[in-house]
Structure formats: structure tokens, C-alpha cells
Amino acid sequence: MSTKRSLFVRLVPCRCLRGEEESVTALDYSHCSLEQVPKEIFNYEKTLEELYLDANQIEELPKQLFNLQSLHRLSLPDNDLTALPASIANLINLRELDVSKNSIQEFPENIKNCKVLTMVEASVNPISKLPEGFTQLLSLTQLYLNDAFLEFLPASFGRLTKLQILELRENQLKILPK
């Protein structure tokens, strides 16, 4: 019987690991002044469960990022992202997504394929509407969309019956769905 060894790595200064590929479950590249996602991350594509890229200058997410099948938590706040690619739907084990403080204007419709998402933090983004597919995230318990320019919510928003925390401060909502 093998025991799974967990290794959390905080890269300060940002550097890559060698020889520990089989045990790295979390990487933290926060506050590293990165303009792109480091390629070293993909050395851990089979074991990586948590990825923190907070407070960098990342503008685009590489396609390979969405092949991280074990990823449970993706943290990308305070970057320069303008979009979430449709390939986010490949992250079928993703439970927590933080894309706050970016310039994201919309979520892709197929975000609905991230069926185990329990928390989405997307505050401080110019999001004017949520796609209908968002209402199929039936495991969602926390949703933060403060200061996001939301004008309306999907008509079937009420399907999100597991929501325990819903924050919608500083938006342009006029009507809430039933």
C-alpha cells in the first residue's frame, strides 16, 4: 500500500522544483511579477491539486493549463485576464475558482461542465451577465460577484439551491429572478 505524500510549494523567489514531480500537490506563484503561467507547472500535471497565481500580470491562460485533471483549486485574482477560455470546461474536478480583480467580461457557456464547483469568486470584473450554463453549477455553495457590473441574472438562477453565500454588492441589478 502506498501513501500519498503531499508537498505544498511556495516559490519565493519563484523557482522550479526538480525531482519531486510525483508528490507536488500545490504550487504558489503569487506575487512573482509573472506575465505568463510558468511552464514548470505542467511537470506536475498528474498530481497538482492547487495552483495559486495571485497578484501577477498574467493576461492569457495557456491551453495546457486546462489539462490539469487533478486540479481542485485555481486561484488567479489580481491579474490582467480579459477572458476565461472555453477549455475551462476540461477542469472537471475544479471545486474553487478565484478570478477576482481581473478584466473578465463573461464566463463561457460551458462552465456548466465544471459540475463540482462549490466556490466562484469573480468580484471586481466587468461582467454584465452570467451565461445560462452557470445555473447548472448545482454544487455551488458560494458565489461572489461584487462590483461586477451585473445587469441581470439568468432566469433559472433559482436552480442554485445549494448556495449558502451569495454576494452581489455594487452591481447594476434591477430585477432578481424568482
Q: What is the CATH number of the domain that holds 71?
A: 3.80.10.10
CA atoms within 13 A on the CB side of 166: 11
Q: Are 44 and 24 in contact (CB under 8 A)?
A: yes
Residue 16 lies in a domain: no
At residue 175, the pLDDT reads: 84
At residue 155, the pLDDT reads: 93
Phi, psi at residue 176, to the nearest 5°? -105, 140
Residue 118 lies in a domain: yes
Divide the 178 residues of the chain into consecutive groups of 10 and give the mean pLDDT of each group.
Answer: 46 49 85 95 94 98 96 99 96 98 97 98 96 97 98 94 97 87
Residue 165 lies in a domain: yes
Structural domain that includes position 93: 22-35+46-59+66-177
Residues 6+ apart with CB under 8 A from 15: none
Residue 9 lies in a domain: no
At residue 35, the pLDDT reads: 97
> Model-level pTM?
0.89
- Position 35, amino acid: E
Residue 90: all three cell numbers together: 476540461
C-alpha 168 chain-centroid distance: 18
- Helix and strand counts by DSSP (H, E) for the chain: 0, 8
Q: How many domains does the chain have?
A: 1
Residue 8 lies in a domain: no
